[in-house]
Chain A
């Protein structure tokens, strides 16, 4: 998780989060492949769910289970041409067979970010623990 991401493009943001995920998760079998798959997916179609949320993702055999890397930018980020003010980036990697898990994760995040107050609480979270608590509480509420 990166709460003070300061980059100038979507690709740079993905690289940074990917780097953190590879360093911290044993579920990534092949880091370069994971990154390549995410970038390939980004070229095919937009990965932003709204003006504030980007969700670069890939279904790839480079991960053994669902992995999520999270970042909050220090200010509005021009993730791509259509999304100039992204604040949250969730990097998702799911094994190829895990269609259901992928859809569950994406749907849960989409539901969460529909709430303006939840978005505000995430923006205001001072540290990783608080950020995680907001997300976990919302996830529990969603369940």
Chain B
């Protein structure tokens, strides 16, 4: 035996001791690939929440400047003279147009900024500059009182941060898409202080599945974002509502009718937005003038009805708390509809998610009040109808009833209305779906899906998911080199290649683990002695569904990708494959489909309000 004091022997002993520690830690502490994914999901959630806070702060500052006051949008509009009401949204629209116009120079070479497209039909790459330009434009249109939601840019910014994070960490396309989805969930969760709805929003509408492979990271991201917002700001329940009496059976027919009414109204609302979009396109105005015109219309309405400005949040709070008379709501409801058509139709960046809540609250209260007038016991408290109407309208507009119910519950924490809310939302969903197969953004996504083939569907091949340049060893690598390689990279199998790069086999950490305390072996054993040449491999042109079979019978997290000439091309991660197959379960044409359990499986990744304007711009 060589003397233990010999430098190489000492070095080898230290190396093996380190490797033993590494294996010990790995077995007890080292996270699996899924745990690592969850960790990055949490980071994406945290960063998404920070961007949301920054954007909201900037929006408030910009609004302070526009309205010359620190009040809310509606309140400051009420204080402005008539010419101020006209001027502020017009200037805001023009500024948004200027930002978009000049921003086009920066983003000309970039692909679509839409995060939904990046998740559903893209590779998870959300361009940074384009997203910043669009969000900056949204900031002006929102801060100046445009009848548009601010949730869209929040989700967009959270998604772009997640995308940048994933690209920095060199995530594979399926992982990157999932991380962008996590960013989107974080954006929704931060905007509405609603982690469950944030997760389901993305799962149900964008990903079209609630499989744990994707839902788990979404939940972690949404929780991380919500916690961050709660710690750093004075976030609270979004809509404080009075407690309602337990709904009696006599009221249920009324809620069923409300479900049908809202189920009809939502598609009409969406259709009107589309017509408004077409109308503004037909005007053939330059971009800046078109957005200024949209702002001018909102301003003109706001002279007499300032409640139409902004996303409608404060008016919804007044409605569900019974602070507005039904007569005034009729006027506000009609004017808000027009104002949203003007803002959305002119292409103002922002969203129609919160305005949809307003439409639901308004229609619910009006119907409830009317019912109460004729049959008091059929609608004991019309405010409860307003609350239920919000969820039902959202369900009908987004075709995502589960998300709608959860979102409303999280925003109000009112369990009193859960039964009618569930019933009404489902009825509204079926009614809307029966009338019009598309939802809030599915038109856009269908257009996008038609424009770009979905890499995750049907033709998915191993080469699409493969990670290049896996760590390798030569067949003659000494034990010390093998130990060093396992210490340097966090894998359980290292591929062995010959000098031409041809695949020879695999050295498994599992095989050498029991012998790490045997430094004598280091003098004798080389990679060729311990490699496994019967380890399963996959080919680059193999369909993903076939590749899955390769993982059966082995505990490996990755398989080597070997071409016909036996050249090692990369590795295929089981996590990536499962994500891709989860995505593949979505229906092909972006159309939602019902699951047996009654939930919605939708491929139309249509949420995020900014997407709506993206398509409008594309059309123009």
Residues on A lying within 8 angstroms of B by beta carbon are 41, 44-51, 55, 57, 59, 96-97, 99-100, 102-103, 106-107, 110-111, 113-114
Q: Which 9 A-B pairs have the closest CB atoms?
A: A110-B520, A50-B1, A45-B526, A107-B518, A99-B511, A107-B515, A49-B524, A44-B476, A99-B530
B:1-55 near A, CB below 8 Å: 1-2
- Residues of chain B lying within 8 A (CB to CB) of residue A57: 529
Task: Please determine whether A114 and B512 come into contact, CB atoms closer than 8 angstroms.
Answer: no
A99 / chain B contacts, CB cutoff of 8 Å: 508, 511, 530-532
Closest to A116 in B: B1
Cβ-closest chain A residue relative to B525: A106
Q: List 22 A-B contacts (CB under 8 A).
A: A41-B529, A44-B526, A45-B476, A45-B478, A46-B523, A49-B520, A49-B524, A50-B520, A57-B529, A59-B528, A96-B533, A96-B534, A97-B532, A99-B508, A102-B529, A103-B512, A103-B514, A106-B521, A106-B525, A107-B514, A107-B515, A110-B520
* B residues 499-547 in Cβ contact with A at 8 Å: 508, 511-512, 514-515, 518, 520-521, 523-526, 528-534
- Return chain A residues, CB-CB under 8 Å to B524: 46-49, 55, 106, 110
Residues of A within 8 A of B478 (CB): 45
Apart from the given pairs A48-B524, A111-B518, A114-B520, 6 other A-B contacts in the complex at a CB distance below 8 Å: A44-B476, A50-B520, A103-B512, A107-B514, A107-B518, A113-B1
Given A46-B523, A49-B524, A110-B521: A100 and B1 interface contact (C-beta under 8 Å): no
User: Which residues of chain B have C-beta atoms less than 8 A from A55's C-beta?
Assistant: 524
- Chain A residue numbers with a CB within 8 Å of B532 are 97, 99
Distance (Å) between the CB of A103 and the closest chain B CB? 5
Contacts of A48 in B (CB 8 A): 523-524
Chain A residues contacting B528 (CB-CB under 8 Å) are 41, 44, 59
Contacts across chains A and B counted by CB atoms under 8 Å: 61
Contacts of A114 in B (CB 8 A): 1, 520
**Min distance, Cβ A116 to any Cβ of chain B, angstroms:** 9
Q: Which residues of A contact B529 (CB under 8 A)?
A: 41, 57, 59, 102
Which residues of chain A come closer than 8 Å to B534, judged between CB atoms?
96-97
Complexed CA–CA distance, A96 and B529 (Å): 9
Closest residue of chain B to A51 (Cβ to Cβ) is B1
B511 touches A100 (CB 8 A): yes
Contacts of A51 in B (CB 8 A): 1
Nearest-neighbor residue (CB-CB) of B526 within chain A: A45
Contact B512 A49 (CB under 8 A): no
CB-defined contacts of A100 to chain B, threshold 8 Å: 511
In angstroms, how far is the closest chain A Cβ from the Cβ of B278?
68
A138 nearest CB across to chain B (Å): 15
B521 to chain A, nearest CB (A): 6
B contact residues around A46 at 8 Å (CB): 523-524
What separation, in Å, do the CA atoms of A102 and B514 have in the docked complex?
Answer: 13
Roughly how many angstroms separate A19 CA and B586 CA in the complex, as a whole number? 64
Q: Which residues of A contact B525 (CB under 8 A)?
A: 103, 106
A106–B521 alpha-carbon span in the complex (Å): 7
Complex contacts, B508 vs chain A, CB 8 Å: 99
**Chain A residue at minimal CB-CB distance from B505:** A96
Contact residues of B between 307 and 332, Cβ < 8 Å to A: none
Q: Could you tell me if A102 and B530 are in contact, using CB atoms closer than 8 angstroms?
A: yes
Cα distance A103–B532 when bound, in Å? 13
Q: Say how far B525's CB is from chain A's closest CB, in angstroms.
A: 7
Most A CB contacts (10 A, CB to CB) among B1, B475, B512, B531 go to: B1
**Shortest Cβ distance from residue A64 to the other chain B in the assembled complex, whole angstroms:** 16
Distance between Cα atoms of A99 and B527 in the complex (Å): 11
Question: By the criterion CB–CB under 8 Å, are A50 and B515 in contact?
Answer: no
What residues of B have a CB within 8 angstroms of the CB of A59 in the complex? 528-529
What is the chain A residue whose CB lies nearest that of B519? A110
**Complex Cα gap A22–B511 (Å):** 29
A107 CA / B529 CA spacing, docked (Å): 13
Q: Would A50 and B521 count as touching, CB distance under 8 A?
A: no
- Per the bound structure, the CA–CA distance linking A99 and B509 in Å amounts to 12
Q: Provide the bound-state CA to CA distance between A107 and B16, in Å.
A: 15
Report the bound CA distance from A46 to B515 in whole Å: 19
Residues of A within 8 A of B523 (CB): 46, 48-50
Nearest residue (CB) in A for B478 is: A45
Choose from A41, A45, A107 the contact partner of B521 (Cβ within 8 Å).
A107
Of B511, B514, B525, chain A has the most CB atoms within 10 Å of the CB of B525
Give complex CA distance A33, B478 in Å: 24
Instruction: Give CA–CA (A50, B524) in the complex, Å.
Output: 9
Minimum CB–CB distance from B354 to chain A (whole Å) comes to 62
User: In the complex, are the beta carbons of A103 and B476 less than 8 A apart?
Assistant: no
Shortest CB–CB separation between residue A7 and chain B, in angstroms?
21
Q: Mark contacts of B372-414 with chain A using CB atoms, 8 A cut-off: 1 yes-contact digit, 0 otherwise.
A: 0000000000000000000000000000000000000000000
Closest to B507 in A: A99
- Tell which of A45, A103, A111 touches B530, judged by Cβ atoms closer than 8 Å: A103
- Known contacts: A44-B476, A97-B534. The answer to whether A110 contacts B518 by CB under 8 A is yes
Chain B residues within 8 Å of A97, by CB: 532, 534
CB-CB < 8 A to A106: which residues of B? 521, 524-525
Nearest residue (CB) in B for A92 is B529
Expressed in whole angstroms, the Cα–Cα distance for A41 and B528 within the complex equals: 9
> Smallest Cβ distance from B528 to chain A, in angstroms?
7
